[in-house]
A and B are shown apart, each in its own frame.
Chain A
Amino acid sequence: MNYLAKKFKVVKAVALVTYKEWSAYRTHSMVSIFVGPVYFIVQYFIWSAVYSGRASLNGMELSQMLTYFGVTTLIGYLTMDFADWNLQMLVRTGKFLTFALRPIHHRFFALSQKIGHRILGFIFEFLPCLFIFVFIFKINLRPASYGWAIISVALAFLMNLYLNYTIGMTAFWLVQATGVRRVYLLLQGIFSGGLIPLVFFPPAIQKLLLLLPFQYVSYVPAMVFIGSYTLAGVSMPIPHIVGLQAAAVAATALFSEYIYRLSMKRFTGVGA
């Protein structure tokens, strides 16, 4: 119990400091209040044109498609992460040494930072865009099940952190790993479902995507929100896909920890 209380105190302290630090740049977050709705307007017209004369496409109706884009935009604000960039910067500049000496796992520190940063995102990105989508665009953003949707978004939050952190650890080998990061972000952007629902991909790629972790970052929470999940012809009840998402997050966390231990064996530093 003491262990958990101590951990909570650390999370609270780091998250609060991060929140205050980034609050100074809150107008940067508020760019999303313009960008999110503008992208949504484009999507609205694209899909309205594509659906003209059609009731459904790949099993999705127009209203579901618009909800999907609204939800993925909002989920993006809650799960956004740059742990990879941060870790690479720390390794490249040598500042990671000061974190390696601290009595706290750096990934836990990164998680605490992310919580603080995303609380800011919740206030200055998520809530304003939610109001715009609901009250101006009249999009139905009521989840099929509040409980499962919240769990799935929380798991996506963790998944994004673990994946990005693992990519960030390539800097222990490459030092300048921006190329790897850019390729990863490109693949994640496409295969997480942020660009288009994954059911639009050819069947062979959909089968491959079932085995990759990208879908758990955006597609799965969005479909849990909508209330039905299908990929590569595989349909699952919501509790099952959320369970699978939890298992994938646990496996990614273990893999991330394994890479972290290899990284620590490799890492050398002088001075502090």
Chain B
Amino acid sequence: MLKKYIGIYMECIKISISTALTYRLNFLLDNFIALLSNIFFPLVTLLIYGSGAEFPNWSLYEVLLIQAVFTMSTGIANILFNGVLWATMRHIIEGSLEIVLIKPVGCLFFLTASTVDFSGAGLILGGAVLFAVALSHAGPVSILMVLQFLILFISGVFVMMGISFIMAATSFKWVGNSRLPEIFDSIKYFGRYPQNIFHKAISGFTSFIIPVAMIGYFPAAALLGEADGTAFIAIIPCLLFAMAGVLLFRHMIRLYEGVGG
């Protein structure tokens, strides 16, 4: 069973790469624009520090490290999960979800696998460059810190997955609303900055309810040697959040009614 699913996923990745190679210019342009937008991503931080101000107790490169990790996580999520919302929305609007439902694989798995899209790879590349620059100014990093970073970073990717699936599930009821991502983008915005600048109630919310702090802040804090117990406890809500996304999507599938197909 697992072998079958892995086989299908690998096949979908091959198709995605083939598609990208067919429309090479479009693929390169998309990646170039993603890279360009990435250059401007930490602009506010650079301008704040450039004007002589700062976030208390945070150096420029420490804040940039948070934003680099956030960018890489966003890039990975864009490749792996972002297409689920738009594919689900399109199927619901066109009434073609039945065609997906009659396939002999899970609906959510098929939508996720068939929408893998490498046009956001520039975001990972840009994030990685920023990450390398910021990390080179961050001080010595031990192997333990790297391991902590990897665990927290993967947890952050789970949060991104949960967000994508919850948005896709919402599109069953809020049909055709292309502004759905804006809602979660605004919440994710909290994850781009040091959490100690926010009110405790907000940082509690961003750590344990919708754990967007795990997308950028906690993994970066691990590399800076500042990951405390909160960061590791927050792994649990991250996994629960991803699971909630899967369960909500399945629930919406059960509620879905269609004719024809």
A binding-site residues for B, Cβ under 8 Å: 25, 27-28, 31, 34-35, 38-39, 41-42, 45-46, 48-52, 54, 57-58, 179, 182-183, 186, 190, 195-196, 200-202
Candidate in B36, B178, B179, B193 with the most chain A CB atoms within 10 angstroms: B179
Nearest CB on A from B170, distance (A): 11
Q: Which A residues are in CB contact (< 8 Å) with B54?
A: 50
From the candidates A39, A45, A202, name the one contacting B197 in the complex (CB within 8 A).
Answer: A45
B binding-site residues for A, Cβ under 8 Å: 29-30, 33, 36-37, 40, 43-44, 47-48, 50-56, 174, 176-180, 182-183, 185-187, 189-190, 193, 197-199, 202
* Cβ contacts A to B, 25 pairs, < 8 Å: A27-B174, A27-B177, A31-B180, A31-B183, A35-B182, A35-B186, A38-B186, A38-B189, A39-B189, A42-B190, A45-B193, A46-B197, A49-B55, A49-B56, A49-B197, A50-B53, A50-B55, A51-B53, A58-B51, A179-B30, A182-B33, A186-B36, A190-B40, A195-B44, A196-B47
Which residue on chain A has the smallest CB distance to residue B33?
A182
Distance between Cα atoms of A190 and B42 in the complex (Å): 12
Q: Are A200 and B50 in contact (CB under 8 A)?
A: yes
Q: Are A41 and B202 in contact (CB under 8 A)?
A: yes
Q: Which B residues are in CB contact (< 8 Å) with A49?
A: 55-56, 197
Q: Are B51 and A200 in contact (CB under 8 A)?
A: yes
From the candidates B40, B56, B186, name the one contacting A39 in the complex (CB within 8 A).
Answer: B186
Distance between Cα atoms of A13 and B30 in the complex (Å): 39
Chain B binding surface, main DSSP class: helix
Q: Which A residues are in CB contact (< 8 Å) with B37?
A: 186
Q: Are B186 and A190 in contact (CB under 8 A)?
A: no
Distance between Cα atoms of A45 and B52 in the complex (Å): 18
Q: Which A residues are in CB contact (< 8 Å) with B55?
A: 46, 49-50
Candidate in B177, B182, B190, B199 with the most chain A CB atoms within 10 angstroms: B182
Q: Which B residues are in CB contact (< 8 Å) with A179?
A: 29-30, 33
Q: Are A35 and B183 in contact (CB under 8 A)?
A: yes
Q: Are B51 and A57 in contact (CB under 8 A)?
A: yes
Q: Which B residues are in CB contact (< 8 Å) with A38?
A: 186-187, 189
Given A45-B198, A186-B37, 15 other A-B residues pairs in contact with their CB atoms under 8 A: A25-B177, A34-B183, A38-B187, A38-B189, A41-B202, A42-B186, A42-B189, A52-B56, A54-B53, A179-B29, A190-B40, A195-B44, A196-B44, A200-B48, A200-B51
Q: Which A residues are in CB contact (< 8 Å) with B186?
A: 34-35, 38-39, 42
Contact (A183, B36) CB under 8 Å given A45-B199, A49-B197, A190-B43? yes
Distance between Cα atoms of A25 and B93 in the complex (Å): 14
From the candidates B47, B177, B182, B189, name the one contacting A200 in the complex (CB within 8 A).
Answer: B47
Distance between Cα atoms of A196 and B193 in the complex (Å): 16
Nearest CB on B from A188, distance (A): 12
Nearest CB on A from B120, distance (A): 13
Nearest CB on B from A116, distance (A): 19
Which residue on chain B has the smallest CB distance to residue A30?
B179
Distance between Cα atoms of A45 and B192 in the complex (Å): 12
Candidate in A35, A48, A52 with the most chain B CB atoms within 10 angstroms: A35
